[in-house]
Amino acid sequence: MENGNMRGREAGGLKKKLVTALGTLVIVVFFIFYMIPFFLVILNSFKQKADILRAPFSFAVKKGYSLENFVEAFTKMNFIRAFGNSLFVTGLSTFFVIVLSAMVAYYFTRAKDKFSTVFFAMMAASMIIPFQAIMIPLVAIYGGQLGILNHRLALVFFHVGFGMSMSVFIYQGFIKSNIPLSLEEAAYLDGCTNFQTFTKVVFPLLKPTTATLVILNAMAYWNDYLLPSLVLSKKELLTLPLSTYMFYGTYSADYGVVMAALVLTIAPLLVMYIFLQNQIISGVVAGAVKS
């Protein structure tokens, strides 16, 4: 009987190891397929145009690898200015979305009236409206009638407006299920106002959700091309994604320089993740564990 139990445990352990190994293999295969375009961009950013057209997937090159593409891309796209524009728009948009959406979500969660219920439902429903359906009226109204296009603050205004619904929806769910009302009642008894209760009690507890929304919104704003292309047309206001488009000609493109420009565009996000990965992981873990 004991031998049979031991064989059963060994068979069960072996089966578990095989399932784990198979799952790991599947994840690795999907990861490789997912990362192939990224590796190709980096690889071809060091090649000359002739080598890219001849063999874009090959490591062997006739003219050798060089940094000429990066130097040319850095100069032609005016990287410092474009980086500053992207940093200004992304940072300011993310800040206002986080602060305003947290306040709105807190009000919608704690206010027990029809106003909050109706407006929260409207904000949630607005998430299903595609941006492409309203981009023409957007340009016609704000550009043709109000004349506020070609300003970085106008782009920040649009980003905040389009990003509020999702952020409010996520914050509202977290506040409703993870922040007990007793904490706020204790703050009120200690003499805190509504604003002090939010800033000193509620908002610090939103750290896991805030970290997630900062990442999602910052990446979306940094990589956005369509909305900035509608709002900004002056060369001195272009963000990094818009600056990369200047390397595409009418009939051809210098693919090596384009690849180098793309690497320069995504490099700041990669650097940010390297320095903030511990905070990102701890925030996710804190949000997943309940005490």
* Whole-number Å distance between alpha carbons of 48 and 173: 51
Query: What is the model's pTM?
Result: 0.80
Q: Which residue has the higher pLDDT, 153 or 13?
A: 153
Label residue 239 by pLDDT band (50, 70, 90). very high
Q: Report the share of the chain in percent with pLDDT over 70.
A: 88
Reading the block at residue 85, the tokens are: 């524009």
Label residue 6 by pLDDT band (50, 70, 90). low
- Note the pLDDT tens digit of each residue in 82-120: 999 999 999 999 999 999 999 999 998 888 788 888 888
Place of tokens 């750290």: 207
Side-chain half-sphere CA neighbours of 155 within 13 A = 26
- Note the pLDDT tens digit of each residue in 271-281: 777 776 665 56
* Whole-number Å distance between alpha carbons of 83 and 96: 20
* Whole-number Å distance between alpha carbons of 279 and 21: 30
β-partners of residue 253 are: 248
Side-chain half-sphere CA neighbours of 249 within 13 A = 6
* Whole-number Å distance between alpha carbons of 172 and 88: 28
Reading the block at residue 129, the tokens are: 């409206």
- Note the pLDDT tens digit of each residue in 184-210: 888 888 888 888 888 888 898 888 888
Q: Report the share of the chain in percent with pLDDT over 90.
A: 13
Across the chain, mean pLDDT equals: 82
Q: What are the helix (H) ranges across 146-235?
A: 152-178, 181-189, 194-197, 203-205, 207-223, 226-231
pLDDT beyond 80 at 290: no
Mean of pLDDT values over 223-244: 88
| pLDDT at site 91 | 93
Q: Which residue has the higher pLDDT, 73 or 248?
A: 73
| pLDDT at site 7 | 60
- Note the pLDDT tens digit of each residue in 244-257: 887 776 556 778 88
Mean of pLDDT values over 230-234: 86
| pLDDT at site 291 | 41
